[in-house]
Amino acid sequence: MLENDLINAAALTATIDPSPLSVDAEDSLHQVIEAMGQAAKTYALVYSSGALLGVFSYDNAARAATHQVNFSQTPVTHWMTPLDRLRPLSTALAWPRGFSRLHPEQPYLPVVDQAHHWLGLLTPDGFCTLPDSAEMVSTSGAELTACHYSVALFQQQQERLALALQGAQMGTWDWDLAQGTIVISDEQERLLGLAPGEFDGSYDTLFTYLHDDDQAVVHQALQQSIQLKQRYGVEFRVLHRDGQTRWLSARGQVFDDGEHAPRLAGVTLDISDQKRAEAEIKLQSQRERLIAEIAQRIRHLLDLDSILAQTVTSVQTFIEADRVIVIQCGADMSGEVIQESQSGAYPPMLGWALRDPWSVGKTFLAHYQAGRGLAVENVYTQNLSPNQLAFLEYFQIQAEIVVPLLEDQTLWGLLIAHQCRSPRTWRTSDVRLLQNLATQVGIAIQQAKMHRELTLANQRLKRMAYLDGLTQVANRRRFEQYLDQEWRRMSRENGPLSLIMADIDSFKGFNDRYGHQAGDNCLRLVARLLTRAAKRPGDLVARYGGEEFALVLPNTDLAGAETVAEDIRLLVRGHRIAHEGSAVAKIVTMSLGVASALPAIGGSSADLVKRADDALYSAKNHGRDQVRVDGEPLPS
């Protein structure tokens, strides 16, 4: 580490710049000033062929500007300070010991103050600076003393501090706690929305400029700082006379050394841009979370109505719209409001059928069909027809955002946000939110359509799997499944379960005489008659095989089942379907067997089928065209 002998008063405020900026003598003023700005320097050492010619600082630039020179074409040598104009001080700063041995190529060291403003050059002959500066020499032209030098540095620092505070839009304030008076800078007054010199120095007056909701927070922060003698930091709002609200951040601390009057001093910075950025980031995060939530619901919900209802509610709350609706468009581009979220102060639109759902004319139909939205800040500036304006005025619509809902590139409907209280300048983020949600809703619409189609397909497949293709009643597979299901249910509920087995008498002879087409028609008719007889929703009619049918009757005892069977026999006989080959009658007749059980006390569904089938066999063997009951004694 280099040893440095800065021994006078200036040593406390001046240091050597370890990385000076060097420029070429042929560089223009514009190039040099640009280089100084990029390097964050207030000066530049001007060299030519490796030799130092002079120093150029912002003071030189200011003098050139007063002469209105062309900065782009004027070489820096015309306005620099040549080395021969620099003169050493009598109280010269000493050359750092050992530096010439370490850096023999650098005989000139720039000296800067704590703000890095150029003060002069440290050379082997001493510290050299300008002798003709009014602040740095006596009237007789004597060398600048160390005291004068320190004063000049202090004045420079004060000026630069004031410029820095102004440039940073930072205000300062100083509260004399003993006298109770507050002194604030001009910039502080500007931050408060005041004219220079308007503040009267009163603590109470200061608070009248603060937002009502923030006064208590600021007061508490200041009083706590005074009581605990600690630093304070607080953010608050001020309301300017032009209606603008600004966010300020104040930082400071108590100074009390026991010798001087205690004071509370600090700085204030305008953080409105930061607050706006934070608010925008927060809104963006909320928008992304809302879109993610809608997307999550779409993945877990197949109910389109629920998704649309949640969407309009979320949008209305998020962008603070007066009304949000979803219009579903018909094939003729008429529309119906199928979802709505709105405040109670405005007329509801839910259920309204609209011939012109986009409210701005057919000119925009192609616009929506292409997937593009529309933001209207004031409907009265849109050159709408009297009919369209009358519609909007009826629902008190003064501004709106309209985005299309597309289903596979087809206009399915519209998602619309209304402002009813007044015209509204919509934020780009509001429009983008609705567009993003419209994309998610479009996915939900497509998903709901696919779900409906899949459900219908599954229903068709289920019917094909469980229905007899000829008669359209349950097939044997469905019969066995349903019988087993109801057996378990009746076992739990301790209810009776009855079964009817029915067979068309002499059906083979019917087919032989009339043909299979007529036989198929006969089976279809009988199936419809059986379905008519099975009146309750829980009753099941099934084709058991060939010309044989079965009826499952839950919660029906043996007597009830026998009544149903007899009704079926009479119903079929009453239709008098011709059957010349029948040995019983010249019409189609049926034989039926009935059995019943209490599943709760034991047995099985297979036993019930066997008993009903045995009863049917008994009916066919004892004359046909009759109903036989399980366990019934045979007639003598």
Q: What is the pLDDT of residues 361-374, one digit of tens each?
A: 566 777 787 778 88
- What's residue 344's pLDDT? 78
* Strand 87-88 relative to strand 126-129, pairing: antiparallel
Provide the 8-state DSSP code for 382.
S
The CATH label, of 3.90.1150.10, 3.30.450.40, 3.20.20.140, 3.40.630.30, for the domain at 280-451 is: 3.30.450.40
Does 132 score more than 70 pLDDT?
A: no
Does 208 score more than 50 pLDDT?
A: yes
Just give the CATH number of 476-629.
Answer: 3.30.70.270
- What's residue 363's pLDDT? 65
What are 274's two structure tokens? Answer: 């930061």
Provide the 8-state DSSP code for 145.
P
- What's residue 95's pLDDT? 57
- What's residue 102's pLDDT? 44
- Cβ atoms of residues 544 and 479 within 8 Å: yes
Query: Does residue 547 have an active-site annotation?
Result: yes
Question: What value does the mean pLDDT of the chain take?
Answer: 83
- What's residue 343's pLDDT? 83
For residues 71 and 544, which has the higher predicted lDDT (pLDDT)?
Answer: 544
- Cβ atoms of residues 475 and 467 within 8 Å: yes
What angle, rounded to 10 degrees, do the helices at 476-493 and 428-466 form?
A: 100
Q: Is the dihedral of CA 458, 461, 465, 471 positive or negative?
A: positive
Q: 220-238 as b/e, with b when 16 or more CB fall inside 10 Å?
A: ebbeebbeeeeebebbbeb
Provide the 8-state DSSP code for 362.
G
- What's residue 90's pLDDT? 56
Q: Which residues pair with 252 in a beta bridge?
A: 232, 266
Tell me the percentage of the chain whose pLDDT exceeds 90: 35
Backbone angles phi, psi at 603, to 5 degrees: 90, -165
Provide the 8-state DSSP code for 414.
E
| pLDDT (tens digit per residue) in 251-305 | 888 888 777 778 888 888 888 888 888 877 777 777 778 777 777 776 666 778 8
Q: Which amino acid is at 262?
A: P
**Most confident listed range (22-31, 186-195, 267-276):** 22-31
Say which residue the tokens 């009658």 belong to: 585
Backbone angles phi, psi at 548, to 5 degrees: -100, 135
For residues 122 and 145, which has the higher predicted lDDT (pLDDT)?
Answer: 122
Just give the CATH number of 9-163.
Answer: 3.90.1280.20
Residue range 168-270 forms a domain whose CATH class is alpha beta
Domain with CATH 3.90.1280.20 in the chain: 9-163
- DSSP codes joined into one string, 42-103: SEEEEEETTEEEEEEEHHHHHHHHHTT--TTTSBGGGTSEEGGG-EE-TTPPPPPTTHHHH-
CB neighbour list of residue 465: distance below 8 Å, 6 or more residues apart: 477, 478
- Cβ atoms of residues 352 and 338 within 8 Å: no
| pLDDT (tens digit per residue) in 64-109 | 887 888 888 999 999 999 988 887 765 545 555 555 554 556 677 8
- What's residue 131's pLDDT? 67
- Considering just the CA atoms, what is the radius of gyration of the chain in Å? 49
- What's residue 64's pLDDT? 85
Provide the 8-state DSSP code for 587.
B
Q: Element (H or E) spanning 354, and its range?
A: strand 353-354
Which is catalytic among the residues 187, 340, 547, 548?
A: 547
CA torsion 390-394-398-399 (nearest 10°) is -90
- How far apart, in Å, are the Cα atoms of 612 and each of 529, 540, 567, 589? 20, 15, 17, 18
For residues 20 and 609, which has the higher predicted lDDT (pLDDT)?
Answer: 609
- Cβ atoms of residues 173 and 268 within 8 Å: yes
- What's residue 147's pLDDT? 43
